[in-house]
Structure 1
Amino acid sequence: MVDKGTRSAGASAPPRSPAIGIDLGTTNSCVGIFRNGKVEIMTNDQGSRKTASLVAFTEDGLLIGEPATRQVTTDPANTIFNFKRLLGRRYTDPIIQNDMKTWPFEVVNERGWPKIRIDSKGEKRCYFPEKIQSMLLLKMKGIAESYLGEMVTDAVITVPAHFNEYQKQATRDAAKIAGLNVMRILKESAATGIAYKVLHSKGIMKDEHNILIFDLGGGSFDVSILSIHDGVLEMKSTSGDTHLGGEDFDSRLVEYFASEFKAKHRMDPTSDKIAMRRLRVACERVKRTLSTATEAAIEVESFFENIALKSSISRSKFEELCGDLFGSTLEPVRKALQYGKIDKSHIHDIIVVGGCTNIPRIQELLKEFFNGKELNKSISREESVAYGAALQAGILTQDSHILENLLLLDVTPHPLGIETVNGVMTFLVKSDTAIPTRISRGFSTCSENQPAVTIKIFEGYSSFTKDNNMLAKFTMTGIPQGGNGIIRIEVTFSLDADGTLEVTALHKPTGRRSKITVFIDKEHLLEDDTKDEDGVDYPIQEYKDATKASKV
């Protein structure tokens, strides 16, 4: 789902501040604007069009972006990176627990959610990842304001296609802290699709044109299939892994060289955070070198116990180390084709974006899967997402007639449903359901003379709600009394074109109705308030043979 745009321009609307598009990446971020009929990708104070997604705490204050990279190897415990991977995840999430083993900074548990602990001026401070992300967003906002020479408040912000509602809400919260009004949360693949449509289609495509977007960045991986026809850009399916990217390839190199050093010198450097961070920075350079060369040298002076690390690695060895990770990128491709009900022979263009698509073996695997079909590398791999986000901001502000013929139709990234008796997840909306949509299903009370029903709304794939994310809940009271299963309640999920979810419970005989528009409140989640005010949940069960669905 995506956030609903909050304003629209009209003939009598007053002049408004410019709206920007932000690609909020795990490794690097980028900001653009649509003006004067074209997209401009803005440069930061270092003269670069991309900004490192790093936040460093120093004795003199904060360093964000490129300046923070200088502290990565000298004070890694206070230089925060990969914080996008923490957004919307519980502290106990196995992915978080695994990453914590390699991060040089400390992550602690705050009522079930991760917080980053830093030492600032001799004082320990803890920050939720949303707060760290807001610092980067404030930097991106500042870049735009310096470039444009005016205040900026409105933005379209991109996220991986498979971000769940917790992760998207965390992004919204970070933007709010940074003083930004989020016009829309846009899938990165959708942004790339918009860029492709504007840059590479001559007028309106009358015949259906299917494109597959393969986006492999520093920390996440998305595969999306979109169809373009008659000026409409329709998302057919999405798949991917929000926790696969260049950082994982770097980790394989780090493990390899650390093990080699240990075997050679009979010393284990893995407990030295500074040494391991310096090694990771060097390994990232090695990875990039191996995209253009068949061998790369690595040298880290005074790596551990004043002993230098000097070695080299071939491209073939790198491919061996990461073979399973590289191979795993094809499974989301298969799933996207399956979910979209499209044969691979009907894909007209394969768009590769994200820095890791420069890796030759990744390109080879993808070409082999599509029987030798050439990959489309014409769109900037590092700027296409910001480009599309800037175009979407232009569409929402109606800044140009150039964009009038462009319409994006999206799909739901994850299944949605409610909890029924015994904690069962009863699905109402499948993943990759085209939106807008409206789906209703009949349910009933579970006990004699039950005074109310509690509707708990979940997102996730598990058959049991305990393994899924609860998005919201409400209780419908004042229903008539009756026997077990007699009182029927119709529950309707309505998703609009922007993905905003409204859930309604209706008792038809009396016209009694309760509804909620889903909005995730982290403070509510921190309190772990899962029961009704009187401490009681009123369960619901599925009413047999009462399913119907309609599209609006």
Structure 2
Amino acid sequence: MRFGIDFGTTRTIIAAADRGNYPVLTVDDSEGDTQDYIPTQIALDGDRIVAGWDAVELARAGVPVARSFKRLLAAPGSTAATPVRIGEEQITLGEAMSAFANHIAEVIRRSELATGPLQAVVGVPANAHSGQRLLTLDAFSRAGIEVLALVNEPSAAAFEYTHRHPRGINSKRSTVVVFDLGGGTFDTSMVQIAGTRHEIVRSLGVNHLGGDDFDEVLALLARRAGDFEHDAMGERAYARLLDEARSAKERIAPQSRRIFLEFGDQDITVPVDEYYEASSELVERAIATVAELLGDDSIETLAGTDIAGIYLVGGASGLPLIPRLLRERFGRRVHRSPHPGASTAIGLAIAADPDSGYALRDRLARGIGVFREHDGGREVTFDPQIAPTEAPDANGEIIVRRRYPAAHNVGWFRFVEYSALDAQGEPTGDLSPLVDIVMPFDPELQGRDDLRDMPVVRREGGPLIEETVRVDTNGITSIRIADLDTGFAVEATATR
């Protein structure tokens, strides 16, 4: 059986590919009520890591939990060894990911839809770096799930849009902008659609913008309204306040005037207008990213363009302020998925279904370049090798090869992923390290393990070097640097 797994920052949702239907799996929470999601939380029960609703139950008993640990994946340089704090204890990000993926696999196996080997398409943020993708792929694979592909979340949501609104696309309006605001990340993609064929024109994202941030704004206002803004608050108490803020936020309707929260013995009221004013900067950051995606600041309305609409998905997009501000900025072609939280999971299940007929041609959201030694080690230059928005080949891969004669005894290569370049060709925005490679160009140094202490010296008549940068179908990068004269090569796959 094939599934789509939307591994979210606050909630994970699973949809099945069942003979042309894509139902969302339901699970029982800790009180026996049926839910259509699994909390992306983990807790320590002694030496055992528990996840999902079991972690929620332990939290109610006062046991520390790790909420939104997925946000650590997006941090530049994160690896499986990155620490995850759970109260006073600490585990690694790899252990957290493995425990949660194992829990998801158990939930699927208990489902009546689970027959045969488990296969799934798993969602990742469009702006996810290679290390984030590799950790996700590794965790779910080790849990016994055959990962058919990693698909960018807004690309999956575009599948759900086309499946739900097949008549919304025509010859005059063939493009959809997906606005995906989840619990921890924001992604937006421009998708050109022709029938069941989808091509991602461009994707942009903000790794640290999501529902968690809106919860923190409301929690701060609640503390102010309850007159305990400056009181010392322990980690557990603040976590309970955030949970209450999240629940209160999700109850806000377009006609709401006040937000009611219960915290301890206090009943707290926050005016909706005050909350909207405090949250507007977060929404404006997302809107500015959409404007950048469109590439024309002069666009004040989508009328007259080939854009069928802006499609709102992700649980955090349910806040009424968000479609209101989007319509004020771009006009009325703003549509919210009827199942915003499940839209991505449904789209992933469609991608997993071999009989759906849907095809996707995605592009990179982040470029790849290398800092390399120059002028005998006295300078470091940046060399962009794969640009953002680069399209894959017919096999779904991007491969770039370069050949040049070596000009030094040793080559230092610091490969990174970048968002954009400035006018001087230098990377701007956040950088995510991929791999550091030290390559001996001098044949007498090849095979030695002390190269990092070796000074870089310029030399003439060096060997012919071939660099190969490969991005596979899951967006994971590998590097190979080879001496074509001797056959010596150094290879590495991005692990951070």
**1:320 to 2:277 alignment:** yes
- What is the one-letter code of the residue matched to 1:321? A
The residue that corresponds to 1:79 in the other structure is 65
Give runs of aligned pairs for residues 481-500 of structure 1, distance below 5 A. Answer: 483-484=459-460, 489-495=465-471, 498-499=474-475
Cα contact 2:248–2:260 (8 A) shared by 1: yes
The residue that corresponds to 1:20 in the other structure is 3
CA distance in 1, matches of 2:431, 2:405: 24
**1:137 to 2:101 alignment:** yes
Q: 2:433 aligns with which of 460, 469, 476?
A: 469
Give runs of aligned pairs for residues 36-75 of structure 1, distance below 5 A. Answer: 36-46=19-29, 47-58=34-45, 63-75=50-62
Q: CA deviation at 1:228?
A: 0.8
Distance 1:381 1:239, change over 3 A: same
Instruction: Give the SS at the match of 1:325.
Output: helix
Q: Deviations over 1:464-483 (max 9, x none)?
A: 79954033636365679995
The residue that corresponds to 1:546 in the other structure is none
Cα contact 2:205–2:289 (8 A) shared by 1: yes
Q: Deviations over 1:464-523 (max 9, x none)?
A: 799540336363656799954876645343445554545455677x5968474x52346x
Cα contact 2:183–2:210 (8 A) shared by 1: yes
- What is the one-letter code of the residue matched to 2:352? A
Q: CA deviation at 1:233?
A: 0.5
Q: Deviations over 1:219-243 (max 9, x none)?
A: 1111111101254200111112121
The residue that corresponds to 1:336 in the other structure is 293
Q: CA deviation at 1:144?
A: 1.6
**1:368 to 2:355 alignment:** no
Distance 1:501 1:133, change over 3 A: closer
The residue that corresponds to 2:364 in the other structure is 412
The residue that corresponds to 1:276 in the other structure is 238
Q: Deviations over 1:139-189 (max 9, x none)?
A: 221222111354543221111111111111121232234232322111111
Q: 1:247 aligns with which of 181, 189, 212?
A: 212
Q: Could you list the runs of 5+ residues in structure 1 that have no partner in the other structure?
A: 1-17, 94-108, 302-307, 523-552
The residue that corresponds to 2:494 in the other structure is 520
Compute the RMSD of aligned alpha carbons.
Answer: 3.6
- What is the one-letter code of the residue matched to 2:99? M
Q: CA deviation at 1:35?
A: 2.2
Instruction: Give the SS at the match of 2:5.
Output: strand
Distance 1:49 1:427, change over 3 A: same
Cα contact 2:15–2:346 (8 A) shared by 1: yes
Instruction: Give the SS at the match of 2:392.
Output: coil
Distance 1:138 1:294, change over 3 A: same
Q: CA deviation at 1:411?
A: 0.7
- What is the one-letter code of the residue matched to 1:394? D
CA distance in 1, matches of 2:479, 2:55: 44
Q: Could you list the runs of 5+ residues in structure 2 that have no partner in the other structure?
A: 374-378, 445-456
Q: 1:183 aligns with which of 137, 148, 162?
A: 148
Q: 1:297 aligns with which of 256, 260, 265?
A: 260
The residue that corresponds to 2:312 in the other structure is 352
TM-score, normalised with respect to structure 1: 0.74
Instruction: Give the SS at the match of 1:426.
Output: strand
CA distance in 1, matches of 2:41, 2:479: 39
CA distance in 2, matches of 1:431, 1:167: 17
Q: Deviations over 1:504-547 (max 9, x none)?
A: 55677x5968474x52346xxxxxxxxxxxxxxxxxxxxxxxxx
The residue that corresponds to 2:447 in the other structure is none
The residue that corresponds to 1:285 in the other structure is 247
The residue that corresponds to 2:452 in the other structure is none
CA distance in 1, matches of 2:359, 2:486: 37
CA distance in 1, matches of 2:472, 2:97: 28
Q: CA deviation at 1:83?
A: 0.6
Distance 1:483 1:352, change over 3 A: same
The residue that corresponds to 2:448 in the other structure is none
Distance 1:443 1:334, change over 3 A: farther
Q: Deviations over 1:243-274 (max 9, x none)?
A: 111111111122222234446xxx84333233
Instruction: Give the SS at the match of 1:40.
Output: coil
Distance 1:67 1:339, change over 3 A: farther
Instruction: Give the SS at the match of 1:38.
Output: coil
Cα contact 1:89–1:166 (8 A) shared by 2: no
Identity of aligned residues (%): 22
Q: Deviations over 1:166-216 (max 9, x none)?
A: 111121232234232322111111111122223322599667710000011
Distance 1:348 1:203, change over 3 A: closer
Cα contact 2:41–2:52 (8 A) shared by 1: yes
Select between 310-319 and 377-386 the one with higher mean Cα deviation.
Answer: 377-386
**1:384 to 2:346 alignment:** no
Q: Deviations over 1:352-398 (max 9, x none)?
A: 0112222122111111221x223222452011111111122223xxx
Matched positions, count: 460
- What is the one-letter code of the residue matched to 1:352? L
Distance 1:291 1:246, change over 3 A: farther
Select between 223-232 and 338-347 the one with higher mean Cα deviation.
Answer: 338-347
Instruction: Give the SS at the match of 1:287.
Output: helix
Q: 2:75 aligns with which of 89, 92, 112?
A: 89
Instruction: Give the SS at the match of 1:411.
Output: coil
- What is the one-letter code of the residue matched to 1:445? A
Q: CA deviation at 1:351?
A: 0.8
TM-score, normalised with respect to structure 2: 0.81
